[in-house]
Amino acid sequence: MTDCIIIGSGVAGISAALTLKANGKSFLLFGSPSLSEKIEKAEMIRNYPGLSGVTGKQFAHALQTQLADENIEIINEKVGGVYALKDKFAVLTNDQKTYESRTVILACGVESVKQIDGEETFLGRGVSYCATCDGFLYKDKTIAVFCTSKRLEHEIEYLSDIAAKVYLIAMYKDVAINRENVEIIRKMPQKIDGAKRVEKIVFAMPPSQNLPKELAVDGVFMLRECVSPAILMGGLDVKDGHVVVDRDMSTNLSGCFAAGDCTGRPYQYAKAVGEGNVAAHSVSKYL
């Protein structure tokens, strides 16, 4: 069993990984080989000590080089759930794999696109966050897929192979999905509705000329880069969408720490890096 699992490959997760490495602890770092869209997309960084006039792409490249120099690998799997057991954590990924660790650092960032009304109410009753876990339930059915990132298009393709019809609510540019059973919608839905289970997705106005305000669907998949921490981990103390932490970045769950944007504002690299470092030292002390 590994000492720590870090969820998130933004600067908070990377900072935690570098510190754990220096402290001689074993760990697994989950995220994306391209690190984070919030690094890549920064036009010019001016407020980080030692870096002036550096683009997000240059910053990402420097971080990737540093990770390679330290032999730190990123596991390219999305974490779907974290379970606090008696004296360890079980981390389940959307690839249906389970990993175990003594501690966890949540460095999963925040999603800028807000939750949709009904999303939490119908979670497990037609709303899913994991294409590969639940996709098979919707064979030959009609589903809506709400997606915030081009990087998740492989999950849309997977779902469109299974479902008869997919309404793709795309909240990102340059959609590259071109399939007969996928209809692209560019409007934010108002709510997910139904009785016992999801029955429809409702828009304030018809989302296009050929579609009505309400679309009958059997299920809704929410594909976001960042899953809300409360959904990721049951029992976690969360306030206004942010993980509640102490000065040492510990959460209300023993052995679970958090760092970066997921703990609250200001959303800035320097704060995320500092918190990742503190979280890793706290993990070492805890162990």
Q: Could you list the residues that contact ligand FAD (CB under 6 A)?
A: 7-13, 30-32, 35-36, 38-39, 41-42, 45, 47, 78-79, 107-109, 225-227, 232, 260-261, 267-270, 272
**Residue matched to tokens 């997919």:** 166
What DSSP element (H or E) covers 254?
none
CB closer to ligand FAD out of 27 and 269: 269
Give burial (CB, 10 Å; 0-12/13-18/19+) of 9: buried
Q: What residues pair up with 166 in beta bridges, in sequence order?
A: 143, 182
CB contact burial 190-218 (16+ within 10 A = b; e otherwise) = bbbbbeeebebbbbeeebeeeeeebbebb
User: Residue holding tokens 């570098």?
Assistant: 18
| Nearest alpha carbon to residue 105 among 162, 25, 33, 193 | 25
- For residues 43 and 69, which CB has a smaller minimum distance to ligand FAD in the complex? 43
Indicate the residue among 74 and 182 with the shorter CB distance to ligand FAD: 74
State the nearest-atom distance from the C-beta of 270 to ligand FAD, in Å.
6
Tell me the closest approach of the beta carbon of residue 25 to ligand FAD, in angstroms. Answer: 19
* Shortest Å distance, C-beta 54 to ligand FAD: 9
Shortest distance, position 239 Cβ to ligand FAD, whole Å: 17
Smallest gap from residue 245 Cβ to ligand FAD (A): 12
Closest CB to ligand FAD among residues 6, 215 = 6
251, two tokens: 């959460």
Phi–psi pair at 189, nearest 5 degrees: -70, 155
Minimum CB separation from ligand FAD for residue 194, in Å?
26
Residue 272: burial class (beta carbons within 10 Å; 0-12, 13-18, 19+): buried
In degrees rounded to 5, what are phi and psi of residue 10? -80, -170
- Closer residue to ligand FAD, CB minimum distance, 220 or 272: 272
* Closest CB to ligand FAD among residues 44, 204: 44
